[in-house]
Structure 1
Amino acid sequence: MKFIIPILAVFGCLIGNGAASADPPIRPGDHVAIVGNTFADQLRIHGYLETLLLQKTSDTPISIRNLGWGGDMLTARDRPTNFPTEETTLRDHQTDVIVACFGMGESFAGERGIEKFKADLEAWIESHRGKKYNEKTEVRLVLVSPIACEDLGHLTPDLDGRNRDLQSYTRAMREVAESADIAFIDLFEPSRYLMDEQQGPNLTTNGIHLNQYGYWAISRTFFNQLFPEHDETPPWQMRMDANAKTGTAIGVELADIVSDETGLQFRVTETTPPHLPPPVDNPLPPQLEFLRDTLAVENLPPGTYALSVDGEHVATASADQWTKGVAIDASPAHAEAESVRAAVNDKNLQFTYSWKALNQVHIVGERRSSPSGRALPGEVIQFSELAKERDANLAKRIRLATRQWRLSRVTQ
């Protein structure tokens, strides 16, 4: 039975023309710092990109500190009085790689601001070039473009003008990155491609700020561009024939296929982690539907069949639907992947409490000499230790298992 995966062209559209270096800009064991605007800041509360990176590097896990700040631009990065310098935080984290997300705020200056933006980018690169924040090797840099502006009707006036400017600023970032020989991630073109698709939920809340679904979708293309010529991890694709008791698969291995009048059972050994389930129940656009783990079973007798994994219900569909393929997002493996993402978000919260605490006035401001101000620095240190502790345990939560799957006919 031939197994066809019609996703390579789709991946090409979603990947775009990103990082082009021979080696991926992020490597196993790296300490990564993310800096930049609201897009960067909100990566920490959704956790999709970091979870994907942890899944890929679980044997030698990466460690991420998100230093994003809502509204940041290259030359406008306001901080409270006496706030720790960015360089101090980069050295504390022993940073190997800085991922910089800029261009959205700057793009509002329009065409007249592009040359200044390029000069500011070049200055930012020079400010880090040659620095050894990890005390061993020169820091590597990754530039990340803004996303496109989504058409949300009256919420997004001058949509075409905004996207012309965002495209120009993305092009400027690419030129600077190529000139400096550093990695570049283009999120503008893939996001515009998805936004132009009629089917599927909106990606943003106001045209330029991604919602949770938007971060789920864009994190995948971000991840793929970080590893453009390396082992992309396609979704699980399982196709079986109930009559022949045979099957082919990508991402997992199938064994011990047994069928009878009540259904089909088989053993699945996970060789790659599952894809993170989308955070919506709405139908997805075709480009993203192909990114979901899928099971297809041919030649089932007519009827309705329920899928269980290790005794836990996962999905129910008709024989015709199983023939076409059913997205598998709720298996125990997917629940475990979601628990990793939740742990990532918790780690990021502990770091945020230690680095960007809400009550800065008591820590570095005018009330730092008050009783509560004197107590808070110790608490901040405890939050930092909690972040490190959680960081060390994240990869241990990622596991590949062998599980028993069963497709049972549902009696009426």
Structure 2
Amino acid sequence: MSVLICADCFAQFGGGKSEIKADIRDGDRIALVGGTFIEREQQYGYFELALNLALPETNFSVRNLGWSGDTVTAISRARFGNQQEAWSHLTKSLDLVDPTVIYVGYGTNEAFRGKEGLEEFKANYAKLLDELEKRTQRIVMIKPLPMENLGPPLPNPEAYNANVELYGKAIEELAYDRGHSTMGMNASFAKYQPSGKDEPEHLTDNGMHLTEFGYWYLAPKMVASLAPWTSELPLKAVAANPLKPQDKVLVPLPYASAPGKEAPQSIQCAIQFFQPGKSVLKGPGDAPEVSATTEQWGRGVDIPATALYAKTEQLRQAILRKNQLFFDRFRPQNETYLYLFRKHEQGNNAVEIPQFDPLIEEQDKKIFELKQPDAFDVTFEKTAD
């Protein structure tokens, strides 16, 4: 059975084989390192979802090492210890993941210190980069987001946002000097406007921390900043020339529908057929056939999308399951008894923690399988001249 080739496409982003900054390859292990913005992403999985949909043919894994309230000195990771313990915890976590690509996001907390703390921030970030660069040179530095102005009784964030801009420029300078990429969503964040009554007025719940909708909204912008070739176009596919019996069209998965919103029943798909005539597309299951001329398919035709969106949600749920398993591996709830000052009581149980590894890897395999495009049957009907 010959298979039609799907290229450069998935809903809202583009997609395909083009390079993403930091050059993600088969077998890559991506570590997400940072504070609250990074840690909370694992609860929703939208950035990882968007990244996987952008690269359906690339088999990589993602591990979230975020720690709420953290700084470039890793101070939040001290637990019951000191600064040295905090730094050691971060380096051991990096060793656990053994990353080949690192996305690192700091500056949110440090920006509260304004100009007074800027030079110290840059020095500490340089030290962190020295540590990260021992593992990989493929590093993307994420700039901090500004605060939303939610109005009284919350304070006006204007002064803080000026500091965020200052720290963001410092991050850009560090990245440039050391040959790394940057990711910034400030413009997209600031330009957000609800597109309808069913969309929330804000992207955060307190001015600083993103809601689930906020992560959903920003995830494609984050991927677009890594992959400038992406675009908000219909699904696209390229057909074999000429069509043969039993051929199929591989239709990529669309990005998830907004949280709490029903997924669209159809989505536009553009296919370049090389023969003049009419082609009929039939999706899996009991989805109705869609017939259109070669010219119409080239412009884009609505196809049934219920099954596509359902598979996208399956993929996101697999990502969330993997994230939970890795969190339990990376930060077990009873680590005081397993590793710290009460390990003399139950430290023997620490041997069970690595048993999470095969369960996590199983989810990695499931994620790769689920993100593959769906195969649609196609038949060609030659029309009279």
State the TM-score, normalized to the length of structure 1: 0.69
Matched, 1:396 2:376: no
**Cα offset, 1:387, TM superposition:** 1.3
Query: Secondary structure of the equivalent of 2:107?
Result: coil
Q: Distance in 1 between matches of 2:195 and 2:154?
A: 17
Give the paired residue count: 323
- Structure 1 residue 216, shift from structure 2 partner: 0.6
Counterpart pick for 2:348 among 374, 389, 394: 374
Q: Hey, what does 1:27 align to over in structure 2?
A: 24
Residue identity in the other structure for 1:210 = L
Instruction: State the distance in 2 between where 1:79 and 1:328 align.
Output: 53
Shift of 1:156: 3.4
Task: Indicate how the Cα distance of structure 1 residues 154 and 379 shifts in structure 2: closer, same or farther if over 3 A, else same.
Answer: farther
CA distance in 2, matches of 1:156, 1:120: 31
State how 1:244-393 maps to structure 2 within 5 Å. Answer: 250-252=235-237, 269-281=249-261, 294-295=267-268, 310-311=285-286, 331-370=306-345, 372-375=346-349, 377-393=350-366
User: 1:98 corresponds to which residue?
Assistant: 102
Structure 1 residues 116, 392: closer, same or farther in 2, change over 3 A? same
- For the pair 1:123 / 2:103, whether they are aligned, the reply is no
**Once the two structures are aligned, what percentage of the paired residues are identical?**
25
Cα 1:309/1:211, change in 2 over 3 Å: farther
SS in structure 1 of the partner of residue 102 of structure 2: strand
1:11-54 per-residue CA deviation (whole Å, 9 max, x = no partner) reads 9xxxxxxxxxx862141222111111100001111111112222
Question: 2:317 & 2:340 partners in 1: Cα distance?
Answer: 32
Is the contact between residue 252 and residue 269 of structure 1 (CA under 8 Å) also seen in structure 2? yes
Q: CA deviation at 1:274?
A: 1.2
- List gaps (5 residues or longer) in structure 1: 1-9, 12-21, 238-249, 255-266, 283-288, 297-307, 314-324, 406-412
Does structure 1 conserve the Cα–Cα contact (< 8 Å) formed by 2:137 and 2:180? no
Residue matched to 1:80: 79
Q: Distance in 1 between matches of 2:46 and 2:331?
A: 21
TM-score (norm 2): 0.73
Quote how far apart the aligned CAs of 1:378 are.
2.8
Which structure has more relative contact order (CA 8 Å, sep 6+)? It is 2
Cα distance in 2 for partners of 1:253, 1:268 equals 11
C-alpha displacement at 1:102, in angstroms?
0.6
CA distance in 2 between partners of 1:197 and 1:391 (Å): 35
- Of 187, 210, 230, 1:189 maps to 187
1:195 to 1:203, Cα distance in 2 relative to 1, 3 A = same
- Matches of residues 136-215 of structure 1 in structure 2 within 5 Å? 138-154=136-152, 156-194=154-192, 200-201=199-200, 202-215=202-215
- Answer whether contact 1:294 1:327 (CA < 8 A) is retained: yes
Q: CA deviation at 1:106?
A: 0.7
For residues 41 and 328 of structure 1, do their structure 2 counterparts lie closer, same or farther at Cα, with a shift above 3 Å needed?
farther
Alignment correspondent of 1:316: none
**1:391: how far off?**
1.6
Comparing 273-282 with 161-170, which one deviates more in the overlay? 273-282
Deviation per residue, 1:88-116 (Å, 9 max, x gap) = 33233231111111111111112322222
Note closer, same or farther for the CA distance 1:127–1:253 as it changes in structure 2 (3 Å cut).
Answer: closer
2:204 alignment partner, SS class: coil
CA contact (8 A) 1:145 1:170 kept: yes
- Aligned twin of 1:62: 60
Please tell me whether the aligned partners of residues 37 and 71 of structure 1 are also in contact (alpha carbons under 8 angstroms).
Answer: yes
